[in-house]
């Protein structure tokens, strides 16, 4: 039987008892006691949703399903609501949670990698962002969790990472208005299913060149060369207005270079499409350079025949 009173008191706060309908004051508490208990109530109020999620996850793992659901029914908890609390609690580790932020803040970042959760929650606390403002900064309005990495190994890998830029959120060039971005460390931490002998084609914008080389090294490839894509229209930029991007080439193992007849020019002139869209002819170029191979596209937006594809925008 659940008690009709929940006493969230300790030796220093004996005058206060919380009931289902309010707060009962016993005696005459001092100002400091009253102030301290108010602080404690504030902490409990902020923590109740995610703490309920932790409680539910513990019960689901430890006790049989029937007993678990029965207790929730007795307590008057809605199963769907508790499941939402439990999902956020499971995805955001205790070490990443911040006392001054609400459950809604933690829910915004729950689908993101842990390294992004930490950075975004710290920024929300520092800049006093609302959950809605945090969602805009995080670019999670349309975000889905990254799926499990594809199985197998691949000798040709093509990747266009969703680089995160330090734009003001009102900037028309901010990629987060178009797709969910990733922190550099999260991109580097991906386990790439490459063959022992493999080649990597990695897109890099000019401001992200140094980071792209870091990613290439983290994935186990040595930089070899690059191709320049020259666009038909000029873009944005702080020093030069950009009109080209780089396709970096990296190698691991002993995969042979393409035959001379199959080596394309190092400059590709092609029209600019939608935001971040790359020229369609690059697929054919890669297939010509390395025919009859196992192809994998990372951060893909649409499937292509003969290629494996991975990403949260498929």
In what side-by-side order are the strands of the sheet with 16-19?
Answer: 5-6, 16-19, 23-25
Give the pLDDT confidence score for residue 156 in this predicted structure. 98
Give the pLDDT confidence score for residue 74 in this predicted structure. 72
Mean pLDDT by 10 residues, the chain (314 residues): 39 62 78 79 75 84 74 74 87 89 89 89 88 76 72 97 68 57 90 97 96 98 98 88 96 96 96 87 98 97 95 84
Q: With H, G, I as helix, E, B as strand and everything else as coil, classify residue 177.
A: helix
List helix spans (H) across the chain. Answer: 31-62, 65-75, 79-91, 103-109, 114-127, 131-138, 184-188, 209-218, 281-289
pLDDT digits (tens, 9 = 90+) for 237-256: 889 999 999 999 999 999 99
Pull the structure tokens for residue 155: 């000798």
pLDDT digits (tens, 9 = 90+) for 266-307: 999 999 887 778 999 999 999 999 999 999 999 998 999 999
d(CA 310, CA 77): 38
Give the pLDDT confidence score for residue 57 in this predicted structure. 85
d(CA 250, CA 34): 65
Could you tell me how far CA 2 lies from the centroid of its own chain?
40
Domains and CATH numbers, the chain: 154-310 (3.40.50.150)
Give the pLDDT confidence score for residue 158 in this predicted structure. 98
State which H helix or E strand residue 288 sits in. Answer: helix 281-289
Give the pLDDT confidence score for residue 306 in this predicted structure. 96
Pull the structure tokens for residue 213: 């080389």
């Amino acid at each position: 039987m659940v008690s009709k009173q929940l006493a969230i008191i300790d030796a220093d706060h004996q005058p206060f008892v919380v009931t289902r309908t309010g707060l009962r004051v016993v005696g005459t508490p001092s100002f400091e006691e009253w102030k301290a208990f108010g602080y404690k109530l504030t902490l409990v109020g902020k923590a109740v949703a995610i703490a309920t999620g932790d409680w539910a996850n513990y019960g689901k793992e430890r006790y049989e399903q029937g007993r678990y659901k029965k207790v929730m029914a007795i307590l008057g908890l809605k199963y769907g609501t508790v499941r939402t609390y439990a999902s956020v609690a499971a995805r955001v580790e205790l070490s990443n949670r911040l006392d001054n932020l609400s459950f809604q803040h933690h829910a915004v970042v729950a689908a993101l990698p842990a390294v992004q959760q930490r950075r975004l929650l710290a920024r929300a606390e520092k800049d006093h962002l609302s959950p809605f403002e945090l969602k805009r900064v995080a670019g999670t309005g349309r975000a889905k969790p990254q799926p499990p990495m594809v199985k197998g190994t691949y000798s040709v890998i093509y990747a266009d990472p969703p680089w995160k830029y330090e734009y003001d959120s009102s900037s028309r060039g901010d990629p987060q208005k178009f797709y969910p971005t990733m922190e550099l460390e999260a991109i580097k931490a991906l386990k790439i299913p490459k063959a022992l002998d493999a080649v990597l084609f990695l897109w890099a914008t000019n401001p992200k060149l140094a980071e792209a080389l870091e990613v290439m090294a983290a994935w186990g490839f040595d930089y070899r060369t690059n191709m320049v894509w020259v666009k038909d229209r000029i873009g944005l930029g702080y020093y030069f207005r950009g009109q080209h991007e780089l396709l970096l080439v990296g190698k691991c193992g002993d995969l042979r270079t393409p035959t001379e007849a199959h080596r394309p020019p190092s400059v590709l002139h092609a029209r600019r499409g939608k935001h971040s869209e790359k020229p369609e002819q690059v697929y054919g170029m890669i297939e010509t350079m390395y025919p009859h191979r196992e192809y994998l596209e990372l951060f893909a937006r649409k499937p292509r025949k003969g290629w494996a594809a991975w990403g949260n925008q498929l």
